[in-house]
Amino acid sequence: MKEASTAPQRSRLAATLTRPVAGLLATTYRWVDERLGVSDLTHQLLYEAVPRRGAWAYSLGSATLIIIVLQIVTGMFLLWTYVPSTTEAWESLNYIEHHDEFAAIVRGMHLWGAYVLFVVIGLHMIRTFVSGSYKKPRELNWIVGVVLFLLVLGLGITGAMLPWDQAAYWTATVVTHVVDYIPFLGNWVQEILRGGPQMGPETLTRFFAIHIWLLPALLVPLIGLHLVLLRRHGEHGSWVNYEGVEVESEQHRAERMAHAESPYPALPSDPGYAVPVDLDQFFPSQVFKDAVLSFGLVILIFVMAVVVGAPLERAANPAALNYVPTPEWFFLPLDQILVQFPQAWMIPVGVFVIPGIGTTLLMLVPFLDRTPDREPWRRPEVMAPALFAVLFLIFEALLAVNRLFNL
C-alpha cells in the first residue's frame, strides 16, 4: 500500500520536472511526424511478423548489413588520411601505422570487417540455400543476394590493392594479368584496368575509383532492393516453420490464413509459400537477436583490429621479381584452381569458365529447384551438387594453403 501511494507521487514529480523539456520534444516530434510520417514509418519498420523458429539464423542477414555499414564508416575515416597515389599511398598508411593509433585501429577494423563480412555473408547464403528460402516468389531476391556477394568479393580484391605495398602491387599485377586471358577482349580489359599497357600510377587510381565509387554505387541500391523485396514477401525462414502445413485441414489452414499478419499474404497460392505456422514480432524479439549477433561481431572485429591489426608490407617494388604474391584467403580456391591448369590455353577454363558456370548456376538455383519442397532431404537435386561445390572449395583452399606454406 505504501509503495502504491508513493509511485504516483514520484511520477507526478518527474512529470513536473520534465514537463518543459518533454513538452518541447513532443511538440517538435509532432511537427516532424506530421510532415515526414515518422511514426508510420517506424511502425512499418519495426512491427512486422517474422517466423518464430530458427530466428537466430535469420540474424546473419542483419549482421551482414551492420558490417557493411561498419565498412562504409571505417572506409570514410581512412579516406581522411589515405592518399591514392603510387608515391604516397604506402607512405600515408605507414604514417597511420606508426603515428596515428586511432587510424591504425580503424584500418584494422576495415580489414577485419571485410574478413568477417565474407564469413557472415557466406553463412547467410548457406542458410538461405539450405532452407530453400529462395523459392517462389523470392527468386529475384536470391539473384540480388548473389550479385551483392559478387560485389563484396570485388570490393575485397580491389581493397587489397590500395595499400600499394608489395602484396598489393603484385596482387594487382596478377589480377590484371589474369584478365588478359579473356578470349578476344583480354588485352582491352587489361588496359582499362591498368590504365595503359603496364602497371602504373593510373592502375592505383582506377582500382581506388572502383573500390570507393563504382562498387559502392552498385552495392547500396542493391542492398535497398534486397531489403524492399524481403519486406514485400516476408521472411521465409527455415522449413521447420512450415512443418505440418501439408497435412493440416482446410479449415485449420483457412483460419491460419485469415489471421495472417503483414507482409504474409492472406490468400496464398500454395501453403508452402504462405504464412509460417508460428509467428513472432520483428520488434523486439528479432531485433534483440540481430543486435546481439551484430554487436558480438563488431566487438570481435574491434578486438582483432587491436590485437592483430592490419599488415603493411614494404612499399611496392616492381623490380623485386623474387617476391611471391599470395592471394587473400577468400581467393585461395580460385588461386588453386588456376595452378591446376598446366597449359596456357587452359587458364581461361580455370579462371573464367569454371567460376562462370558456378556463378551462373548459383544465380539460377531458384529456377532449377522449383518444387515447393523446402526440407533439404527432399531437395537432393540442388543439395547434393551444392555439397560437392562447398567441399570442392574447402579442399582447394586447404591445398592452396599447403602449397603456399611450402613455397
Q: Report in angstroms how near the CB of residue 402 gets to other proteins at its nearest.
A: 3
Least gap, CB of 369 to other proteins (angstroms)? 11
Query: Does the footprint of other proteins cover residue 244 (CB under 8 A)?
Result: no
Contacts of 114 (CB under 8 A, 6+ apart): 71, 155, 156, 159
Shortest approach of other proteins to residue 362 CB, angstroms? Answer: 15
Q: Does 135 bind other proteins (CB under 8 A)?
A: no
| Residue with smaller CB distance to other proteins, 224 or 380 | 380
Strand partners, 50: 280
Task: Tell me which stretch binds other proteins (CB under 8 A): 54-62, 127-135, 315-323, 372-380.
Answer: 372-380
Give the chain's count of helices (H) and strands (E).
Answer: 16, 2
- Taking the least distance from each CB to other proteins, the nearer of 288 and 395 is 395
Pick the closer one to other proteins by CB: 231 or 403. 403
- Which residue lies nearer to other proteins by CB, 206 or 379? 379
Is residue 166 a contact partner of residue 317, using CB atoms and an 8 Å limit?
Answer: yes
Enter the DSSP assignment of 311: -
Q: Which three cell numbers stand for residue 165?
A: 605495398
Q: Give residues 283-342 in contact with other proteins (rule: CB under 8 A).
A: 336, 339-340, 342
All 3 cell numbers of residue 55? 530466428
Taking the complex as a whole, the smallest distance from the CB of residue 354 to other proteins amounts, in Å, to 10
28 binds other proteins (CB under 8 A): no
Does 399 participate in binding other proteins (rule CB under 8 A)? yes
Smallest distance from other proteins to CB 384, Å: 4
> Residue 5 or 343: which CB sits closer to other proteins?
343
Give the H or E element holding residue 248: none
**CA terminus-to-terminus distance, the chain:** 80
Q: Figure out which of the listed residues 65, 83, 257, 401 binds other proteins, where binding follows CB under 8 A.
A: 401
**Whole-Å CA distances, 254 to 102, 245, 259, 304, 319:** 59, 11, 9, 52, 74
Closest distance of CB 344 from other proteins, Å = 10
The answer to whether the beta carbons of residues 59 and 295 sit under 8 Å apart is no
Extended strands (E) in 188-301: 279-281
Residue (145 or 333) nearer to other proteins, CB: 333
Q: 267 vs 407, which CB is nearer to other proteins? A: 407
- Burial readout 85-124 (b: 16 or more C-beta within 10 A, e: otherwise): ebeebbebbbbbbeeeeebbbbbbbbbbbbbbbbebbbeb
**In whole angstroms, how close is the CB of 321 to other proteins at the nearest point?**
19
Residues from 373 through 392 that contact other proteins (CB under 8 A): 377-381, 384-385, 388, 391-392
Which H or E run contains 308? none
Q: Should residue 403 be labelled a site residue for other proteins when binding is judged by CB under 8 A? A: yes
For residue 159, give the 3-state DSSP assignment.
helix
Contact 351, 334 (CB under 8 A): yes
Q: Which residues bind other proteins (CB under 8 A)?
A: 336, 339-340, 342-343, 377-381, 384-385, 388, 391-392, 395, 398-399, 401-403, 405-406
